[in-house]
Amino acid sequence: MPYDIWNRRYTGSKYKLSDWIIGLINENCEGTTFCDLFAGTGIISAKMLSQISELYINDFLFSNEIIYKAFFEDKEFSNKKLQTYKARYLSIDASKLKDNYVSNNFGDKFFSKNDAKVIGYIREDIEENSSDLNNKEKSILIASLLYSMDKAANTVGHYDAYIKGHTIEDSFIFDLINPYDSKGKSIHISRRDANELVKELSYDIVYIDPPYNSRQYSRFYHVLENITQWKKPILFGEALKPQPENMSEYCRSSATVVFKDLINNLKCNYIVVSYNNTYKSKSSSSKNKITLEDIESILKEKGKLLKFEKPYQAFNAGKTNFDNHKELIYIVKVGNKHVNSYNYTI
């Protein structure tokens, strides 16, 4: 079965909340230009696609950018050619492969030794066939590899650590992703720091879902970043991570300041913000960096504020138990920047 955009494990994915979020956007916002600033899996963009004419989708991870290009970019590709690659990748005999970068580093850790050999072989093969593939086809093959890897990974869903103390069975099966038809839509894919991007553009509706705790996405998904970029860096530590890059200010003590700066610079009619109440979490890495009070006071500065909430059991690695976990959606109907706060609804 080809992969849909939500067929991956991703911390903070709003897949299970997406119908609720889209419903709130439809009831409270108007417009055809939509920006998903911290898009993660891209599920919210995917669900908005049919009702908008222009999509801005952004995240600063390389692996997310290639996934957006694969699913959303309005470019031609040959399905027949991709099926030929798939058939070839399905017929690989791991026992005949030599060790490679992936098997040397991640074999018997994040993947079985055989699966790691196959993953490394396929990634190299895509690179070697670059002249046979247009950019869309190459993005589809790399994104398909990332989705197929996720299914075989010996992890709890991210790559901060692998699961120890058992034999890892071979389970990797290559399958293709199923791209969206974005014909006639204007699609803008970027890998920028959200705070920089918003200074340049204006939109009808902006959806904001930054990280709110100290867990850095570039560290959680370093294996996907590594395979996507394919620069084969030297890796460090037990989790075989490269040198840090794309470290988010939203995961640091500066988060409130950065969030305020983002909201101040936004040029749009509606701001839709996801938030949750894990700021009460007992685990320090799960604790929110921005408090509920701060987020509400920053958003109120921008216009009329609406608040919606829903009880929710979020993804976690099993260590943290959030009592009374709630997901919140704030919608700001942007008005005059300096309207008095008593005009706002909350």
Ligand X SMILES: C[S@@+](CC[C@H](N)C(=O)[O-])C[C@H]1O[C@@H](n2cnc3c(N)ncnc32)[C@H](O)[C@@H]1O
Specify the residue, 248 or 286, whose C-beta has the smaller distance to ligand X: 248
CA–CA distance, 32 with 44 (Å, rounded to integer): 14
CA–CA distance, 287 with 280 (Å, rounded to integer): 6
* 3-state DSSP assignment of residue 261: helix
Phi, then psi, of 316 in degrees rounded to 5: -150, 165
Q: Which of the ranges 97-105, 207-215, 233-241, 265-273 carries the binding residues for ligand X, by CB under 6 A?
A: 207-215
Least distance (Å) between residue 216 CB and ligand X:
8
Tell whether residue 13 is a contact of ligand X (CB under 6 A): yes
Least distance (Å) between residue 173 CB and ligand X:
24
Tell whether residue 22 is a contact of ligand X (CB under 6 A): no
CA dihedral (174, 177, 178, 184) positive or negative: negative
Phi, then psi, of 119 in degrees rounded to 5: -60, -45
Instruction: Say how many Å lie between the first and final Cα of the chain, rounded.
Output: 44
Least distance (Å) between residue 24 CB and ligand X:
14
Mask: binding to ligand X, 231-250, rule CB under 6 A, as x and -?
Answer: -----------------x-x
Among 217, 259, 270, 275, binds ligand X (CB under 6 A): 217
Kindly state the DSSP code that residue 91 receives in the 8-state scheme: T
Among 38, 259, 279, 344, binds ligand X (CB under 6 A): 38
CA–CA distance, 233 with 266 (Å, rounded to integer): 36
Tell whether residue 211 is a contact of ligand X (CB under 6 A): yes
Tell whether residue 179 is a contact of ligand X (CB under 6 A): no
- C-beta nearest to ligand X: residue: 40
Specify the residue, 250 or 322, whose C-beta has the smaller distance to ligand X: 250
- Total interface residues for ligand X by CB under 6 A: 22
CA-to-CA separations, 124 to 24, 189, 229, in angstroms, rounded: 44, 25, 11
Let me know: does 129 contact 150? Beta carbons within 8 Å: no
CA–CA distance, 341 with 346 (Å, rounded to integer): 10
Specify the residue, 112 or 213, whose C-beta has the smaller distance to ligand X: 213
Least distance (Å) between residue 16 CB and ligand X:
9
CA–CA distance, 307 with 296 (Å, rounded to integer): 9
CA dihedral (73, 79, 81, 87) positive or negative: positive
Tell whether residue 72 is a contact of ligand X (CB under 6 A): no
Tell whether residue 10 is a contact of ligand X (CB under 6 A): yes
Specify the residue, 12 or 242, whose C-beta has the smaller distance to ligand X: 12
Among 48, 59, 176, 179, binds ligand X (CB under 6 A): 59
- CA nearest neighbour of 332 among 305, 309, 308: 305
Read off the tokens for 65: 């950018």
Tell whether residue 62 is a contact of ligand X (CB under 6 A): no
Tell whether residue 159 is a contact of ligand X (CB under 6 A): no
Among 107, 210, 242, 303, binds ligand X (CB under 6 A): 210
Q: Phi-psi region for residue 222, left (φ > 0), alpha (ψ -120 to 50) or beta? A: alpha
Least distance (Å) between residue 193 CB and ligand X:
5
- How many other CB atoms are there within 10 angstroms of residue 97's CB atom? 15
326-334 and 186-190 as β-strands: parallel, antiparallel, unpaired? Answer: unpaired
Q: Which of the ranges 5-13, 74-82, 125-133, 282-290 carries the binding residues for ligand X, by CB under 6 A?
A: 5-13
Least distance (Å) between residue 322 CB and ligand X:
15
Tell whether residue 35 is a contact of ligand X (CB under 6 A): no
Q: Which of the ranges 60-68, 115-123, 166-174, 307-315 carries the binding residues for ligand X, by CB under 6 A?
A: 60-68
Contacts with ligand X, residue ranges (CB under 6 A): 10, 12-14, 38-41, 43-44, 59-61, 64, 193-194, 209-211, 217, 248, 250
